Structure 1
Amino acid sequence: MGTEQAEAAETETITGRHEVRDGVALVTVEGEVDVDTAPKVRDWLEEAFTADQPAVVLDLTGVTFFASVGLAMLVEFHGRGETEKIELRTVAPTRAVAAPIFLTTLDKVIKLYPDVDSAVAGG
């Protein structure tokens, strides 16, 4: 899949892509994750979860806003991963994403990584 864009608002966009890197599915998202853009992020995650890989790395490094709908998707796909034996690894090094995750204590459940390389390597 190449880079796709979804109109989030009149002037805001979100971009993302899905690829396979070193035996894991990698979903890279940039922009704002909110109620308008969440369906596109969900599509990218759905595609990654059907890629027949043992893990999905969700790279949120380029995300500038992460609404509660993004938190709900993390919970949803974490649960799906447990059911389907696919590990969800989330890269959330920025305050925009990490703050809501830590504030809601989702960091106790979701595997967080500081960068894509460590998430791809796992562990």
Structure 2
Amino acid sequence: MSATGAIDLASQATFAEAIQDALRQTAPSVVVDLAGVTFLASPGLAVLVEAQEQSMRADKDLQVAVGNEIVAHALELTGLGQVLSLVPDVETALGH
């Protein structure tokens, strides 16, 4: 699944729902593509952490395709790179 624009309090529920929909699919892994994200606030970061926890409970692999410096910086500042499975882009996540 991919996200675009700002992920903040206003878009948190939509972002969470999209990830939940992806996790409910039968695929063994989910890639969250954040290349189009222009702003990543703490509500969006919280959604990613919750999604990681849910994917572990469901025995699914969740990868976050960072895609740009805005997202990379937010994840670096918060230390979530130690919690989430980060890849530079979707192609890397898919093994291409």
Stretches of 4+ moved more than 4 A in 1?
none
Q: How far apart, CA to CA, are the structure 2 residues paired with 1:96 and 1:115?
A: 14
- Tell whether 2:60 aligns with 1:120: no
The size of the alignment, in residue pairs, is 96
Q: Partner of 1:61: helix, strand, or coil?
A: strand
Query: What does 1:35-114 correspond to in 2, within 5 Å?
Result: 35-114=9-88
% identical equivalent positions: 33
- For the aligned residue pairs, the C-alpha RMSD in angstroms reads 1.2
| 1:22-76 residue CA offsets vs partner (Å, 9 max, x unmatched) | xxxxx01111101001111111111101111111100000000000011101110
- Tell whether 2:27 aligns with 1:29: no
The two structures have a TM-score, normalised by structure 1, of 0.74
Q: How far apart, CA to CA, are the structure 2 residues paired with 1:104 and 1:29?
A: 20
The one of the two structures with greater contact order (alpha-carbon pairs below 8 A, sep at least 6) is 2
Greater helix fraction, Structure 1 or Structure 2: 2
Letter in 2 for 1:56: V
Greater strand fraction, Structure 1 or Structure 2: 1
Q: How far apart, CA to CA, are the structure 2 residues paired with 1:120 and 1:29?
A: 17
Q: How far apart, CA to CA, are the structure 2 residues paired with 1:32 and 1:86?
A: 26
Query: Would the aligned equivalents of 2:9 and 2:43 in 1 still touch at CA under 8 Å?
Result: yes
Shift of 1:121: 2.4
Letter in 2 for 1:100: A
The two structures have a TM-score, normalised by structure 2, of 0.94
